[in-house]
């Protein structure tokens, strides 16, 4: 909780405006962002159907799914409003997206599947954020994709979507 408050403080007290942080226009680019998220959920669903031999996914009940949706929005705030915005001040947008994706994927180590998916997703989300500055729609597709990944890809590979020590100690 302390880390989250420190990151929020860093973003809010920084030089960026609410519009630059993606907080002021919740409908800007929402349609293409949500459509791309729906397409990606379909791709994950198809991928999951081809790897069912490795085991079932781990769907979350509603009382935990809404918590993940909030966590997905928080992750997007950290990634976009804190890191990407600052990286964009130093690097070209494409390079800022690549670096932000790299940082996002590092947070998902040691899970090889989540590390790879978070790099690809982090790059795509940062690219969308740079274009539309809409944190809300990104949080929604992040949440939908995370829940789709958890339920469609084998839990034997994902360990209940845990990262860090939790991934290694999951039984």
Domain count of the fold of the chain: 1
Model confidence, pTM: 0.90
Assess contact for 82 and 7: CB atoms under 8 A.
Answer: yes
Does some domain include residue 124? yes
In-domain check, residue 112: yes
Residue 171's pLDDT is 67
Question: Would you say residue 128 lies in a domain?
Answer: yes
Q: What is the pLDDT of residues 14-71, one digit of tens each?
A: 888 888 989 899 999 999 999 999 999 999 999 999 999 999 999 888 888 999 999 9
Length of the chain: 171
Q: Is residue 133 part of a domain?
A: yes
> Whole domain around residue 116: which residue ranges?
61-171
125 part of a folded domain: yes
Please report the pLDDT score of residue 2 as a whole number.
Answer: 82
Q: Does residue 41 belong to any structural domain of this protein?
A: no
Residue 150 belongs to some domain of the structure: yes
Tell me the average pLDDT across 131-143: 97
Residues in CB range of 158: below 8 A, 6 or more apart: 57, 58, 111, 113, 114, 149, 150
Residue 28 falls within a domain, yes or no?
A: no
- Quick check: 108 and 118 in contact, CB under 8 A? yes
């Amino acid at each position: 909780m302390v880390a989250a408050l420190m990151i929020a403080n860093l973003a809010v007290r920084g030089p960026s405006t609410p519009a630059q942080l993606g907080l002021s226009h919740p409908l800007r680019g929402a349609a293409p962002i949500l459509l791309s998220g729906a397409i990606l959920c379909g791709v994950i669903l198809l991928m999951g159907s081809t790897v069912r031999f490795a085991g079932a996914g781990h769907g979350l009940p509603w009382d935990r799914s809404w918590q993940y949706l909030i966590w997905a929005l928080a992750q997007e705030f950290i990634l976009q409003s804190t890191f990407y915005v600052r990286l964009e001040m130093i690097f070209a947008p494409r390079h800022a997206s690549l670096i932000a994706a790299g940082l996002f994927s590092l947070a998902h180590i040691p899970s090889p599947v989540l590390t790879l998916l978070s790099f690809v997703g982090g790059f795509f989300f940062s690219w969308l954020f740079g274009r539309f500055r809409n944190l809300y729609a990104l949080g929604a597709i992040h949440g939908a994709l995370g829940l789709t990944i958890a339920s469609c890809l084998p839990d034997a590979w994902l360990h209940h979507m845990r990262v860090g020590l939790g991934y290694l100690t999951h039984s």
